[in-house]
Amino acid sequence: MTMRNEPTARQVRLGTELRRLREAAGMSAKEVAGLIGSSSAHMSQIESGSSGISEDRLRRLAAHCACGDDGLINALATIATDRTRGWWEEYRGVLPSPFLDLSELDHHATFRRDVAVIHIPGLLQTEPYARELFSYMAPELPETELQLMVNHRMRRRVVIERPNPIAYEAVIHEAALRIKVGDRTASVKQLARVLALSEAEHVTVRVIPFSLNSFAGAGSTMVYVGGPVARLDTVVRDAPHGNAFIDAPAQLDHFRTLFRKVEAVSLDPTESRDFIHRMSKEL
């Protein structure tokens, strides 16, 4: 298969999971390569995401590694054979790759859960809100690039606005709701959007109020994206130089627990809507 100069996060994840299967079986890349009719060099490329793998070879690899998880194997085979060119491909070579990786991750998600402490989650943002954020974070951007970033963020909302939306839950701290990103009019419209979406059957919005005692979860900001099987879930967190994609099993367990803790101390959906409504009237 053709070598990839810049594999996507989804392609890298496939390679990572195949490496984990091999390592769990206690086999070397050379051993597995021989069993599936490949070379150790090609096996290294597959595991790094730099090269693809056929469905036949993938299933043979799983069999030789004694993987009996049919759900996982089928999900990996789907990734290996996927040729989807989604709307985000229009931005390839124009926006940084992490923007596109997030779009692809959302597109294939089975559900998504956000915890936001400082800013409104991206899927709930209005265009003026997103523009203010990007303008502040990168003031040197020319208008054309800034608009591309804003347009891209607005198009990412399709996963909760399309006819077959994913289940979406956002836990938002009162701080994120109160911080005025833009003027009063923009803030009112932003809260109105959050309220409107919270009424949708597939959307759940919960609020963590300032009045909550002993809340130590200020560092809990995360995006948790469900995969076709739990093993393929992904957590996205802000890092100093971009987004960090987290997928190690132990780390996923940690973030599942963290989300449950944050969710447990938040207001229920009805209380949260009432809370946001009152806040909007105070602006």
- Domain ranges in the chain are 9-81, 87-282
pLDDT digits (tens, 9 = 90+) for 250-280: 999 999 999 999 999 999 999 999 999 999 9
**Span of 149-153, 158-162, 209-213 with lowest mean pLDDT:** 209-213
Determine contact, residues 269/197, Cβ cutoff 8 Å: no
pLDDT digits (tens, 9 = 90+) for 197-207: 999 999 999 99
Of the candidates 259, 273, 256, which has an alpha carbon nearest to the alpha carbon of residue 206? 273
Cα–Cα distance measured from residue 155 to residue 82, given in angstroms and rounded to the nearest whole number: 21
pLDDT given at position 4: 76
DSSP, res 95: B
Fold of the 87-282 domain:
Endonuclease; Chain A (3.30.870)
Task: Give me the amino acid identity at 120.
Answer: I
pLDDT digits (tens, 9 = 90+) for 49-96: 999 999 999 999 999 999 999 999 999 999 999 988 999 999 999 999
Cα–Cα distance measured from residue 283 to residue 268, given in angstroms and rounded to the nearest whole number: 23
Phi and psi for 115 in degrees, rounded to 5?
-120, 120
pLDDT at 134 over 80: yes
Phi and psi for 212 in degrees, rounded to 5?
-65, 130
Determine contact, residues 109/166, Cβ cutoff 8 Å: yes
pLDDT at 171 over 90: yes
pLDDT at 240 over 70: no
**Span of 13-27, 99-113, 136-150, 194-208 with lowest mean pLDDT:** 136-150
| % of the chain surpassing 70 pLDDT | 98
pLDDT given at position 271: 97
pLDDT at 2 over 70: no
Cα–Cα distance measured from residue 245 to residue 3, given in angstroms and rounded to the nearest whole number: 23
171 by DSSP, 3-state: which?
Answer: strand
pLDDT given at position 1: 59
| % of the chain surpassing 90 pLDDT | 87
Task: Give me the amino acid identity at 182.
Answer: G
Determine contact, residues 281/193, Cβ cutoff 8 Å: no
Q: What angle do CA 241, 243, 245 make, to 5 degrees?
A: 130
pLDDT given at position 218: 73
Contacts (Cβ under 8 Å, ≥6 apart) of 51: 1, 2, 3, 4, 42, 45
Compute the half-sphere exposure of residue 276: CA atoms within 13 Å on the CB side of its CA. Answer: 29
Q: How confident is the model at residue 138 (pLDDT cuts 50, 70, 90)?
A: confident
pLDDT at 231 over 80: yes
Look at the pTM and tell me if it is higher than 0.85: yes
Q: How far apart are the first and last CA of the chain?
A: 58
pLDDT given at position 238: 80
pLDDT given at position 160: 97
Mean pLDDT of all residues in 142-149 = 95
SS (H, E, C) 234-256: EEEEEECCEEEEECCHHHHHHHH
pLDDT given at position 239: 66
Mean pLDDT of all residues in 184-203 = 96
pLDDT given at position 241: 60
Fold of the 9-81 domain:
434 Repressor (Amino-terminal Domain) (1.10.260)
Mean pLDDT of all residues in 36-51 = 95
